Amino acid sequence: MDWKQDYENKKVSVAKAINKIKTGDNVYAGHASTISLTLMHEMCNQADRLKDIQIFMQLPLTEIEYIKPEMEESFHTTFLFANGAPVLDSIRKGKSDFIAENLSELPKIFLKGAIDIDVVFVQVSRPNELGMCSFGVGVMDNYALIETSKHVIAEVNSNMPFSESATIPISKLDQIVESSDPMVSFPVTPIDELSLKIGKYIADLIPDRANLQVGIGSIPNAVLKSLKNKKDLGIHSEMISDGVMELVKEGIINSKYNNLNPGKIVVTFLIGSQNLYDWMHYNSKILLKPSNYTNDIRNAGRVDNLMAINSALQVDLTGQVNAEMIGSRQISGVGGQSDFIKSAMLSEGGKSFIALPSTAKGETISRIVARLDEGACVTTPRHDVQYIVTEYGVAYLYGKTMNQRAEALIKIAHPKFREELMKSIKK
């Protein structure tokens, strides 16, 4: 059938599309800026007729009616990456749930049937002249979900940018709802002096022609700001934000030496300002791939000079990294941290960095600790860690004994906690 006819046949009102959902269904709602707000709001409007809907999603960036107490009987949400006060609060109170997984595994969770999805929401661009819509700002697990879910509802958003590397034909969609919602942007974190100091230490260890993976948080952004005098950098990452766009515009990032995908900025999603989304529209330098491609160590590990730059909440004196929990409170997710730290280890010339301020809460808490807090988890094990960086310098842990690690880490702890940490290793 002609794709235009197919499109018209599938086009329905949002209320009719949501009518397809029935009590007890599992609904996948997307991630970050790809979460379909028109569909989510209508699902909440129909809460009275819906009970026990299990919603799966990650990294919500906007206000969320479905986790409000009055919606409890209708919706229960499971986050695959948690963030934001209302989400974290809901998990802490046991009202929502969390799944810890490597981002490389995300599509496989659905392909292997570990979670069955009845209805998936995807937000896509308008179709091009060939009848292909684009996943725009993020592909992640979308192909796996479209393949495995019983029913696919697409929100065709006229504001979604087009990426030619991540397209889907109309024939794969079951129902279409049109919208023109503004894309949800993510505030660019202001960079403080301390982060810049950490950024400079890392920048000193990054050679020209390196390929970068930059994680989430204020420090990865500060590292990018410190790379202004480097040459021919490349990107193989799970995500990028405005900082990468600026370095591409300045000619510092060109991926000329990205040996796996020369000339390409390889990511599974973008998160940032409207400027970033405008810049990526039909930008052929950006190669969007599912997260089981970008984050698979068999791909990322083949990228030469891969520099994995991630952050953490705590590091203990053996080098165990907690990037997810404050005590027993989940405040983030694994994301691609573990995937990329392993990949950097495999990469020819690769290095991995965990960068964090030495303290939290107005210098009252040390983030270099004798032991991780009770209830906290290990996001990256000590045997995978290479460089730990704070505003006091760099601890290189690779090939070091337990005592050497502790000593190196105490040197980069805040001076006011060093004595106490020293006593703890003597104990």
Q: Could you say which of 330, 332, 343, 352 contacts ligand COA (CB under 6 A)? A: 332
Instruction: Give the Cα separation of 97 and 366 in Å (integer).
Output: 29
Give the active site residues. 238
- Decide if residue 365 touches ligand COA (CB under 6 A): yes
Q: Could you say which of 30, 138, 234, 335 contacts ligand COA (CB under 6 A)? A: 335
Q: Could you say which of 161, 215, 272, 319 contacts ligand COA (CB under 6 A)? A: 215
In 3D space, the residue among 355, 358, 338, 420 whose CA is nearest the CA of residue 389 turns out to be 355
Judged by CB under 6 A, the stretch of 2-10, 154-162, 175-183, 359-367 that binds ligand COA is: 359-367
Rg of the chain on CA atoms, in Å: 22
Instruction: Give the Cα separation of 64 and 130 in Å (integer).
Output: 36
Q: How far is the CB of 238 from ligand COA (least distance, A)?
A: 6
- Decide if residue 146 touches ligand COA (CB under 6 A): no
- Decide if residue 267 touches ligand COA (CB under 6 A): no
Instruction: Give the Cα separation of 361 and 364 in Å (integer).
Output: 6
Q: How far is the CB of 81 from ligand COA (least distance, A)?
A: 8
Pick 361 or 426: Cβ nearer ligand COA = 361
Q: How far is the CB of 262 from ligand COA (least distance, A)?
A: 23
Q: Could you say which of 314, 330, 347, 352 contacts ligand COA (CB under 6 A)? A: 314
- Decide if residue 360 touches ligand COA (CB under 6 A): yes
Side-chain half-sphere exposure of 308, counting CA atoms within 13 A: 31
CA-to-CA separations, 385 to 221, 341, 356, 394, in angstroms, rounded: 21, 7, 14, 13
Q: Do 183 and 35 meet the contact criterion of CB atoms below 8 Å apart?
A: no
Q: Could you say which of 211, 337, 358, 390 contacts ligand COA (CB under 6 A)? A: 337
For every residue of 337-397, DSSP letters joined together read HHHHHHHHHHSTT-EEEEE--SEETTTTEESEESSPPTT---SB-GGG--EEEETTEEEE-
How many residues bind ligand COA, per CB under 6 A? 24
Kindly list the residues in this chain that would bind ligand COA in the complex (CB under 6 A): 215-219, 238-239, 310-314, 323-324, 326, 332-333, 335-337, 360-361, 365, 367
